[in-house]
Amino acid sequence: MTRVAAVLVTFALAGPAAGHDYWLVPETFTPAAGKPVGVALHVGEHFRSESEIRWQPAKTTQLDLVTAAGTTDLFREDGDGTKPAARLTLAKPGTAVLRMDRDWSRIELAADKFDAYLKEEGLEAVRKARKEAGEADKPGRERYRRCLKAIVQCGDAPDDTPTKAVGQVLEIVPEKNPYRLKAGDELPVRVLLNGKPLAGATVAAYHRAGDALTSAAAVTSAEGRVSLQLTESGPWLVRLVHMRRCTDDPTADWESYWAAVTFAVR
């Protein structure tokens, strides 16, 4: 298992080629039973929100609430353009996972910006493939999807719900319930692509307090595992990007999947 200690860094604006994460933030990570909780969808970098995304049914393929009791479909056709993007209510104490999958979006970047983006995300295999194919000087045409989760805890008895895969194309699966951890503990996670371990993927974890960003990063083992030290209490974002050749879309040469899971450490 690959390990890396979290380090305190100061936030700096990334270049224009940097990719942007999406992540889910509930009004509280520790909701009371029976009380509705709004869940905002944010876009930004390094766990700093640049804007809040409204509910977009046309761009959402799945919205589920997963608990020990089962899965509840929260997708709705109405409310297009409203905030927050989702709402959940836990009927009884336990741990719950809110799952949101988004449909394809597309982007084209100039060759230099696309290369900078690949470099920043640690996608060296894609950079190498473009060079070997004589594409290094060509624009990067990409389609991408988001696979998002938020883990919340109702009451004082965490269960094993977040340690079970929910079936996202690219998925981060904690191997311990984060609500059983305290600041300074390590969180082991598995990364799955189509249900199988993804090796060689860079996974990052972020905690933000104002302008101070605490981060940890590691590369998945052959079994798709990493362990990240969570040095601070409060909300954390764990995320990664996986990119591969796109073979079934004439408008894109590459396709990427962005996975993110948020939770809080007590």
Rounded average pLDDT over 201-220: 96
Over residues 144-176, the pLDDT tens digits come to: 999 999 999 999 999 999 999 999 999 999 999
Residues 115 and 228 sit within 8 Å (Cβ to Cβ): no
Q: How many whole angstroms separate alpha carbon 62 and alpha carbon 136? A: 35
Model confidence at 11: pLDDT above 60: no
Q: What is the pLDDT of residue 17?
A: 35
Model confidence at 4: pLDDT above 80: no
Q: What is the pLDDT of residue 9?
A: 34
Over residues 233-252, the pLDDT tens digits come to: 999 999 999 999 999 999 99
Mean pLDDT over each residue of the chain, to the nearest integer = 93
Q: How confident is the model at residue 6 (pLDDT cuts 50, 70, 90)?
A: very low
What is the value of pTM for the model shown? 0.92
DSSP 205-257: EEEEETTEEEEEEEE--TTSEEEEE--SSEEEEEEEEEEEE--S-TT-SEEEE
Does residue 93 have a cis peptide bond before it, meaning omega lies within 30 degrees of 0?
A: no
Q: How many whole angstroms separate alpha carbon 176 and alpha carbon 265? A: 12
Over residues 18-55, the pLDDT tens digits come to: 469 999 999 999 999 999 999 999 999 999 999 999 99
Q: What is the pLDDT of residue 19?
A: 66
Q: How confident is the model at residue 2 (pLDDT cuts 50, 70, 90)?
A: very low
Q: What is the pLDDT of residue 7?
A: 37
Q: What is the pLDDT of residue 16?
A: 34
Rounded average pLDDT over 72-78: 97
